[in-house]
Structure 1
Amino acid sequence: MKLRTILTTGSAASAIVLAFATAVPAFAQDTTPAEEEATPATDDASTIIVTGSRSTTRTVENSPVPVDVLSAEAITEGGQVETNKILNKLVPSFNFPQPAISDGSDALRPATLRGLSPDQTLVLVNGKRRHTAALLNINGTVGRGSAAVDMNSIPALAIKSIEVLRDGASSQYGSDAIAGVINIRLQDASEGGKAVASYGKYDTTLDGVSKVTGLQVNAAGQPIIDPTDSRYFLANTSGELHVRDGETYTLASNFGLPFFGTEGGYLNLTAEYRHRSRTNRTGFDLRPNYVKSGALFDPRELTFDRREFRFGDPTADDFSLFLNAAYPLGDFEIYTFASFNQRDSVSAANYRGENNANNVDYSVLAPNQPPPGSFTRAVLYPDGFLPLIKSDLTDYSYTAGLRGDVSGWNADLSVGFGQNQFDYQTLNSINASFGPASQTNFDAGGLKYSQGLVNLDMSHDFDFGFAKPVTFALGAEYRNERYQIRPGDFQSYALGPLFRAAVPNTTLANCTALGGRYGSVAATTCDFPGRAGGAGAQGFPGLPASAATDADRHNLAGYAELDADPIPGLSTTLAGRFEHYSDFGNTVTGKFAARYEIVPGYAVRGSISNGFRAPSLHQQVFTTTSTNFIAGVPVDVLTAPVSSPVARALGAKDLKPEKSVNISGGVTANPLAGLSLTVDYYNIKIKDRIVLTENLGASTSTADAAIRAYLASVGSTVTAARFFINGLDSRTQGVDAVMNWRLPLGGLGKFVLTAAYNYNKNKILKRNNTLGPLASIPGVVLFGRTESLRFEKGQPKDKIVLSLDGDISSFGFTARTTRYGKVLSPGSTLPAAPNQASFTAPGPDDVTLSPKWITDLELRYDLGEKYHLAIGADNVFDVYPDRLPFGNRPTSLGGQYPQNNQYNAYSIFSPFGFNGRFLYGRIGVDF
């Protein structure tokens, strides 16, 4: 039987025609009764879609824009259970790096489409806009400065299929749809169900990481320092390090029931519990951990556990509930879907050694007394400490609506609400400026984002004598957003009594009266080495009281769309949208797309559109303060809202929406039965991209010193800040190619061969370095070298996915191999003279990660009609990204590589992570 899956990525209006024509319950996601199965990756050419179009007759074959369709089988097969990891394996233009030691980004990792920002892809569930997460990614990861949708909160078993529209679609769906649209369709069966249990674990050998069996010692039993690099001890090793960790198990069930026994009604529920133990891909840290006594090392150096860092996936416990339901009511249908997700995650910050300045117990020292250099000095943690960051993420949403025929128009009215809350705790830590009086566990504050929606969508087919009826759709949307910041415990961010700032330009007599030390830092400066405790909870300082925020905004939108086939073989879409935002005003977008079949089975297609992305509330109002120490002096670095006095003093302006122009063109071919091929070129120019500035005033450079002096001159108590700006114009261009070949084997089964390729290149066309009041200070840069390289080269240049799926009688298999192209992992060290100011010249610590092939295998067996068994291996050949260089740089470069490269061996920019081989098994039961 021919598969005819009804896809409805798009507005509610377009789906209503399908819903009533087929009498199936789920809005924007229904299937014809003839549906049998979905192809594991990209569906066959006859699949009916309305992705990117509101016509009810569009198919994958005649769509004027490229659409990927991922089936439930493809989503639930394989060892990965996180939606973002699944998409990373199946969609070539999708990128999901997996950073570590990145604070909240460890628990909620951002993903990208076509190399653009995570917030430039619109995510829908059942055709309705999904709310974004409360977390704003402000660390040094891909997606810095963005807030994305947490797709990992949606369990795989709840998903019927995923449609990925790879084209600009702001005129059809609104803000954020610059890179494209991802629509997640929920299961809608009214009977039967499935229960699945899976278990897996990493069994891997860390490439290039030696297993240390002990330190080398001299005749006196003292550890030996490496004569070529005095930062490290010499060690005895035995091959490469082998680990087994990351135990993961999932218990999930999905089932459907007739809603109150009505024909056409359904109640579909999914519940999932997922546990993931942490992984650790750190090597052995060979730096001294303890303070020396004179020339002698502490004897504890010989027994200290040198894998004290944690570098990998955090421990996580996820619980999810999803509901999808519909109830016929005369000529109308009431529908609803809702979700709840609770995720508790524990990740790690950087380890603080016993010899760390913030491990000293300053309470036992006089203000002028430096910490003693001896084994017996007073410390807060005897061996040092590893701060832990616990995140408590609560996410829920619900949507309810009524759809039916109103005077010949298919109408849909819906309301929805979604909220994401992210609360932090810092554990096993200390605020050194409070000494022994400090807490060790802190409530570090929290973030909350919520979104309310009201949608009205209508559509009608008109017969004007064209090849097919003309679909006219129109609709309106009201959206309200709210963003809140809750401060943490006082000690989580405060500067306590065991810190005193140095007093410059004073006298010996005054310094003596203050109890300080005179002339050690500078001739007329009084400093306090016995009062040098760092501020805030180590590892993750809390959100300060000054960060308390409660802001909201609203917008109103209206759209119209025409879908027509004027003559046989020619398909067209014309769309326009108007939006009004309460915080920045109005925007208008439009789109035209067309496809022409030159001869049967061969066609050309293309589109042109303009789009926009509204500055998120996060980017406009997020604020926090952290304390950095510059030459022993605390410098408060403020992440400032653009409307704040500090940001205004530094030249900040109100954020404008990002605006894009998208052009695409391609060809489609169906040369044989079951064989389809599409090739599409895209060119996306974006103006006024929103980025986070550098930390202005937060270093020892001459420019930053001048910025601090300027801030003081205007009466600011903040000495350094960063804020969001419309900082870049960019161009993203590339090519997507997808081949799908279905090979039936008569009554025995089938093979499906899929080959997909993406080439992608980001380029900064223009920088906004309008400095305003800072223009008189030489060397000030708003968006610097490291961020520029990350922006242009921090994601794969290309990606290839080759897969073969087979089902023969009771057996099935999947063999997939993915090639991730080269990625640049930028270092912070500037290039050598005369290129220090260059944004593109290579620096001595920049590392190019070479292309890698990652291969996954799975074998399946159906034990009767109800029981299904599977075993498999992801990354079966245990491939790792290139090991980061450490020790001394080549003579031509001079100096030394960053010390953390020795023990944290892999870059967080690796597009496939760095966990190695994952072995798993799965059992499913149908009922």
Structure 2
Amino acid sequence: MRFRPRHTPTPPAVLATTLIATLGLPAAAQESAPLEGELPSVVVVTGTYAKNRRTVDSESPIDIIGARELQATGSTELATVLGRLLPSVNFPRPSGADGSDAVRPAQLRGLSPDQTLVLVNGKRRHTSAVVNVNGTQGRGSAPVDLNAIPLSAIDHIEVLRDGAAAQYGSDAIAGVINIILKKGPTGGDAELGFGEYQKRDGKQVSLKGSTGFALGDSGWLRLAVEAADRDPTNRAGPDLRNVKDPRYGQVNQRYGDPETRPRTVFVNSQVTINDDLEWYAFANYGQRDTSAAATWRTFGRSPIYPEGFLPLENSSSTDQSLVTGLRGEAGGWRWDASFNYGNNEFQLDLDHTVNLDLFANSPTHFYAGKLENTQTLLNLDVAREFPVAAFSGPLTVALGAEARHEKYEIGAGDPASYQGSGSQGFSGFRPVNAGSNSRHNESLYLNLEAEISRRFSGSAALRHERYSDFGSTTSAKGSTRYAVNDAVSVRATASSGFRAPSLAQQFYTITTTNFSVINGVNTPIETGTFAVGSAAATVLGATQLKAEKARNYSLGLQVQPTSNWNATIDAYRIDVDDRIALSSNMTLSDTLKRSLAAQGIPVGAGRYFTNAIDTRTTGVDVVSTYRWNLALVGRFDFTLGYNHNKNTVERVAPNPALLTANGLTLIDRQTTNRMTVGSPRDKFSLATEYTAGPWNGRATVTRYGSFTVPQNNPTLDQVYAPQWVLDLAASVKLGDRWKLTAGIDNATNRYPDQVTSAGNLNNNGINPYSVFAPNGFNGRFYYAKAGYSW
């Protein structure tokens, strides 16, 4: 099925100009040339302002993911690839969850998706406009859309698994994902890929490539493009609402991955003006059209579709950004001054559906409205090395200032999309929901790093931020590393951090139809999601949001007994106070219904965001890499990764007296348990790569640990068994240019446990698999790729 969104955004002129004259890229990681059989030593730029800091010297755990690893699976989605490569990343695949089908959230260390900061070339990436408000992992978050960044543009990724709010500001509670773009005027690559699931659906065709151009004698421009067509998958079960009627059955439903059509271009460039000055910039523009299915509406409900109908939520997510600036050196100081603009717009259309209250006069196409998020930043960073007589190395002093402006906007849909019961599948945004809100904040930071002796190093950071909407906050961090000998070292960090409530969490509002299980029956209820400062939320006991406060502690061991083997073990604890959560769906009493109806809000349930929970996350990460070189046979690379993660709720704020008096609970059992047991407790992976001449083979076995989908009734909780998955791939180089690859993801065709029918949690048999499943529920996937490089 092909579809066309009602509104097609046009990129602003500033981006068109940027594609011609964009400039620059911060320093990226480099590999020192290893001896035969040795593992390379990698220079990192994340979490440090010192020059030439290597992974083996890092005081915090950092994962380096190169372009080869990013291309090692059949997926072209960045979040999916990270979920397979990193044991600490969880990326489930929601279905039937409105906007979350199109913009799926990823978790680091089991925390909220918006508690991980995403950078591109060291610059803050803007977040998505979509708020995850349905019953999925990441409920209540509005994180960065990782899948808006194409793999073709990425040189490598640095993942800092440590709190870094004192260095980078808000959101860096769980860690930092820094995406480093390809650079340079020479070389290029192009790739055509095909794939299909064993069920003969989900066909995928992708085309991607990158190339470089010289800009005169002193500059370069790098262009990356990517396009893909991905058909939907369907793992729906038989519809059991009326088993005797042949019009009911699996053929009517669609439960699985949506249909998606992403198109993206990324530009990265740099010009050297003189020996002490560079001008840089990078930019992107992309649009992803998605068609996701709601639940089949039964026959006899509409005269337009007498046999029933399947509403389709056709969205268009438009993503654009521009970062440009100057950097150089003066008086011994390295400096970087930059401008950063990012925007995401999410527009939603409904097709093949009706507004039941309009009967035969209902349209079958509805524009449901839009969400838009914009951020603009100005940054100034300076750094310098100072010799200290008592130290074995220089003291690196880094100072910086940042000014950020954010805006969040909701646009109303067509009247027919929200009048009465609204369009089936998703009721549109109403004029009362629409509006634009903004804020600004300013920050200052200081960072100190030094090699105090040949074996001992340390760093300290301090950052102060002032927000226009909730006040000021200060974060601090201290880190240290001690080399016991040339093979063993220990490291430790302690930090405080914060995450500012997003504008989406403060102002997102909509009235829509949700389904709740009442007496064993999925019952539609008009549910209002209210801005915390609104009169409706006040009626339900809401108070203004404040920043989340975090404390991070970690202790790690690094071991490198030989030049071809290294291992790290890092234990951590993350305490988050005043954690922001979307409240339970509160089915209102008659008294509260009348109070809201008097405001023109006739709903049967309500919810809003609240700082009501304190959590503690404890765990351990293990990463080990071994290279075995056999001169006559080839080379083997083994990578083992393991994450054990436990989340607990330490405190739940007292229930507002108003809610208690009406028999309601602000934070219910399902809300707290979703945070604690909804993601796998542990995850293990072992990757083996074999290289011999032009041939390469890769096998990765992953064990996704047990998880629980909680309910308010404990007897309805379902614990899902661990799942073992095997991914296989093989490639061959044909000469210096061509490379052919074939592979099988989930070669053993493993599916997660099926959802129990108790309490109708499988939606009358339609939804046989849980949207919490960390590896999805599509089964075996075959793919082939042909690449050409120059």
What TM-score do you get using the length of structure 2 for normalisation? 0.93
**Separation in 1, partners of 2:454, 2:578:** 41
Number of the residue aligned with 2:171: 176
Letter in 2 for 1:659: K
Q: Distance in 1 between matches of 2:293 and 2:36?
A: 41
Deviation at 1:61, TM superposition (A): 1.1
Alpha-carbon shift at residue 826 of structure 1 (Å):
2.3
Given the alignment, which residue of 267, 285, 291 partners 1:323?
A: 267
Q: Distance in 2 between matches of 1:431 and 1:675?
A: 63
1:862 aligns with 2:733: yes
- In structure 1, the residue matched to 2:642 is 757
Shift in Å at residue 37 of structure 1? 12
Corresponding residue number in structure 1 for 2:674: 790
Residues 627 and 637, structure 1, Cα contact 8 Å, conserved in 2: yes
| Conserved 8 A contact 1:607-1:664 | yes
- Which residue of 2 is the match for residue 51 of structure 1? 46
CA contact 1:696–1:707 (8 Å) conserved in 2: no
Distance 1:382 1:710, change over 3 A: closer
Q: What is the match of residue 353 of structure 1?
A: 298
For 1:546, what is the secondary structure of its paired residue?
coil
Partners of 2:776 and 2:762 lie apart in 1 by 21
Question: In the alignment, residue 469 of structure 2 is paired with which amino acid?
Answer: D
Partner of 2:251: 307
Tell me, yes or no, if structure 1 residue 274 matches structure 2 residue 228: yes
- Look up the match of 1:484: 409
1:137 corresponds to: 132
- Counterpart of 2:102 (choices 107, 110, 114) is 107
CA distance in 1, matches of 2:745, 2:751: 12
Return the alpha-carbon distance in structure 1 between the equivalents of residues 247 and 255 of structure 2: 21
| CA contact 2:414–2:428 (8 Å) conserved in 1 | yes
Q: 1:684 to 1:486 in 2, by over 3 A?
A: same
Taking only the aligned residue pairs, the percentage that are identical comes to 41
User: How far, CA to CA, are the matches of 2:36 and 2:534 in structure 1?
Assistant: 52
Find out whether 1:448 has 2:375 as its counterpart: no
Deviation string for 1:813-846 (max 9, x for gaps)?
Answer: 1110110000112245x2xxxxxxxxxxx32x32
Letter in 1 for 2:720: L
Partner of 2:19: none
Letter in 2 for 1:612: F
Deviation, 1:899, is 5.7
Q: Matches of 1:629 and 1:881 in 2, distance apart?
A: 24
Contact map agreement 2:78 2:147 (CA 8 A) in 1: yes
Correspondence for 1:676 among 551, 558, 566? 566
- Write the mapping of 1:638-677 to structure 2, written as runs, cut at 5 A: 638-677=528-567
| CA distance in 1 between partners of 2:524 and 2:202 (Å) | 39
Maintained 8 Å contact 2:725/2:748: yes
User: Partner residue of 2:742?
Assistant: 871
Partner of 2:459: 573
> CA 1:492/1:714 → structure 2, altered by over 3 Å: closer, same or farther?
closer
Show CA shifts across 1:577-607 (max 9, x none): 0001111110000000001011221011110
**Distance in structure 2 (CA, Å) of the matches to 1:902 and 1:629:** 15
Inter-CA distance 491–573: structure 2 relative to 1 (3 Å threshold)? same
> Does residue 1:774 correspond to 2:659, yes or no?
yes
Tell me how far apart the structure 1 counterparts of residues 376 and 36 of structure 2 sit (CA, whole Å). 33
Matched residue SS, 1:868? strand
Q: Is the 8 A contact 2:680 2:707 kept in 1?
A: yes
Q: Which residue of 1 aligns with 2:785?
A: 922
Aligned partners of 1:651 and 1:774 also within 8 Å: yes
CA deviation after TM superposition for structure 1 residue 284, in Å: 2.4
Letter in 2 for 1:875: N
Deviation digits for residues 773-816 of structure 1 (CA, Å, limit 9, x no counterpart):
33433x42111122222111000000001001121101001110
Q: What are the Cα deviations for residues 373-422 of structure 1, in whole angstroms up to 9, with x where unaligned?
A: xxxxxx33121010000001100001111010122100100001010000
Structure 2 portions without partners, runs of 5+: 1-22
| Pair 1:733-2:657 in alignment | no
Structure 1 window deviating more from structure 2 (782-791 vs 753-762): it is 782-791
Cα separation, partners in 2 of 1:129 and 1:731, compared to 1, 3 Å: same
* Distance change >3 Å, CA 747–CA 174, structure 1 → 2: farther
Query: Matches of 2:441 and 2:39 in 1, distance apart?
Result: 39
Is the 2:24–2:279 contact (alpha carbons within 8 Å) kept by the matching residues of 1? no
Following TM superposition, by how much is the alpha carbon of 1:626 offset from its aligned partner in structure 2, in angstroms? 2.3
Report if aligned partners of 1:885, 1:901 keep a CA contact under 8 Å in 2: no
Figure out how many residues of one structure are paired with residues of the other and give that number: 762
Q: By how many angstroms is 1:151 displaced?
A: 0.9
1:280-339: CA deviation from partner (whole Å, max 9, x where unpaired):
0112224327xxxxxxx7xxx346654211000000001010000000001201001001
Letter in 2 for 1:863: L
- The answer on whether the counterparts of 1:283 and 1:307 sit within 8 Å (CA) in structure 2 is no
Asked if 1:821 is matched to 2:705, the reply is yes
Q: Is the 8 A contact 2:29 2:43 kept in 1?
A: no
**Measured at CA, do residues 94 and 161 of structure 1 come closer, stay the same or move farther in structure 2, by a change above 3 Å?**
same
**Matches of 1:126 and 1:266 in 2, distance apart?**
16
Is 1:558 matched up with 2:444? yes
Asked whether the equivalents of residues 426 and 513 of structure 2 are also in contact (C-alpha less than 8 Å), the reply is no
Q: Which residue in 2 is equivalent to 1:213?
A: none
Q: 2:242 aligns with which of 288, 293, 311?
A: 288
The answer to whether the aligner puts 1:256 opposite 2:180 as a matched pair is no
State the 1:712 CA deviation: 6.4
Aligned: 1:458 with 2:382? yes
Partner in structure 2 of residue 600 of structure 1:
486
Seen in structure 2, the aligned counterparts of structure 1 residues 447 and 897 have a Cα distance that, compared at 3 Å, is: closer
1:912 corresponds in structure 2 to 775
SS at match of 2:763: helix
Residue 437 of structure 1 is matched in structure 2 by 361
The separation in 2 between residues aligned to 1:581 and 1:710, in whole angstroms, is 34
Aligned match of 2:400? 475
Shift of 1:192: 1.4
Query: 1:433, 1:897 → 2: CA distance?
Result: 27
- Tell me the secondary structure at the aligned position of residue 619 of structure 1: helix
Aligned-residue offset at 1:719 = 5.8
Secondary structure at the residue paired with 2:257? coil
Supply the distance in 2 between the matched residues of 1:823 and 1:706 (Cα, whole angstroms): 39
* Deviates further, 621-630 or 876-885: 621-630
- 1:250 is displaced (CA, Å) by 0.6
TM-score normalised over the length of structure 1:
0.79
- Which residue type is aligned with residue 729 of structure 1? D
Q: Which residue of 1 aligns with 2:286?
A: 341
Moved more, 780-789 or 651-660: 780-789
Given candidates 198, 207, 220, the residue that maps to 2:193 is 198
Mapped to 2, the partners of 1:276 and 1:37 lie a distance apart of 43
Alpha-carbon contact 2:242-2:248 (below 8 Å) kept:
no
- The separation in 2 between residues aligned to 1:271 and 1:46, in whole angstroms, is 30
State the structure with more CA Rg: 1
Q: Secondary structure at the match of 1:788?
A: helix
Matches within 5 A, 1:89-128: 89-128=84-123
Task: Identify if the C-alpha distance between structure 1 residues 811 and 713 changes in structure 2 by more than 3 Å, giving closer, same or farther.
Answer: closer
Contact 1:707 1:774 in 2 (8 A): no
Which of the pair is proportionally richer in strand?
2
User: How much has 1:58 moved relative to structure 2?
Assistant: 2.2
Q: Report the equivalent of 1:31.
A: 30
Matched residue SS, 2:527: strand
Determine the structure 1 residue equivalent to 2:418. 493
Tell me if structure 2 keeps the 8 A contact 1:697–1:707. no
Alignment check: 8 A CA contact 1:309 1:350 kept: yes
Q: Which amino acid aligns with 1:328?
A: T
- What is the CA RMSD across the aligned residues, in angstroms? 2.3
Name the counterpart of 1:834. Answer: none
Residues 666-692 of structure 1 show CA distances to partners (whole Å, capped at 9, x for unaligned) of 111001121111001000000000111
Q: Per-residue deviation at 1:708?
A: 2.9
Query: 1:510-549 counterparts in 2 under 5 A?
Result: 535-549=421-435
What is the rounded CA distance, in whole Å, between the counterparts of 2:452 and 2:280 in structure 1? 35
Between the aligned partners of 1:485 and 1:450, the Cα distance in structure 2 is 12
AA paired with 2:664? V
Q: 1:94 to 1:899 in 2, by over 3 A?
A: closer
